[in-house]
Structure 1
């Protein structure tokens, strides 16, 4: 179940990142809804990261990722490009944006 939720969140966030900035900037239109959706998904990602980061140091180890964010664990080596042994929320967000842009 956790794997399905993690996959769903990553897919949703990836899809939301693909929303053009011009669509997000439209006041009151569907862009406003898209912007709110992106904010919700980023909040969900932040919440999952915070729950998985059991040491509360802002760094997710491979073991923490395996326990709380399986999709991050699956792509851990790609996200941890500096081979530091941990990933940050910003690195995960950057990875998802790059992945979404490649689609």
Structure 2
């Protein structure tokens, strides 16, 4: 069940990042506040999952931590860990997700 939820959240965030801000704003929403709020909620979910998986609370997710708490990140760990440091950060995960969304 956790794997399904992780995959679902990652897909939602990747989709939200790929949608232009103008498309996220429903008609009548003032200054895109609804679209921005939705994106912020999704990013907060990713941040929350990252924080829960980062059991050492050092801002770095090891492969083992990713496997335990963010399996989709673990599947793409080598792609996300561009510096080959043995860990990934939240910023690297977000950059990876944006790049994947832009490639679609």
TM-score normalised by L of structure 1: 0.91
Q: Does 1:39 align with 2:40?
A: yes
**What CA deviation, in whole Å up to 9, does each residue of 1:12-68 have, x standing for no partner?**
000111121344578725943221111000000000000000000000000000000
Alpha-carbon RMSD across the aligned residues, in angstroms, is: 1.9
Q: Does 1:74 align with 2:80?
A: no
C-alpha distance in 2 between matches for 1:30 and 1:66:
39
C-alpha distance in 2 between matches for 1:53 and 1:21:
30
Paired positions, count: 103
User: 1:25 touches 1:31 (CA, 8 Å); kept in 2?
Assistant: yes
3-state secondary structure, aligned to 1:7: helix
**What CA deviation, in whole Å up to 9, does each residue of 1:68-101 have, x standing for no partner?**
0000000000000110000000000000000001
List runs of 5+ in structure 2 lacking aligned partners. Answer: none
List runs of 5+ in structure 1 lacking aligned partners. Answer: none
TM-score normalised by L of structure 2: 0.91
Alignment of 1:1-103 (within 5 A): 1-23=1-23, 28=29, 31-103=32-104
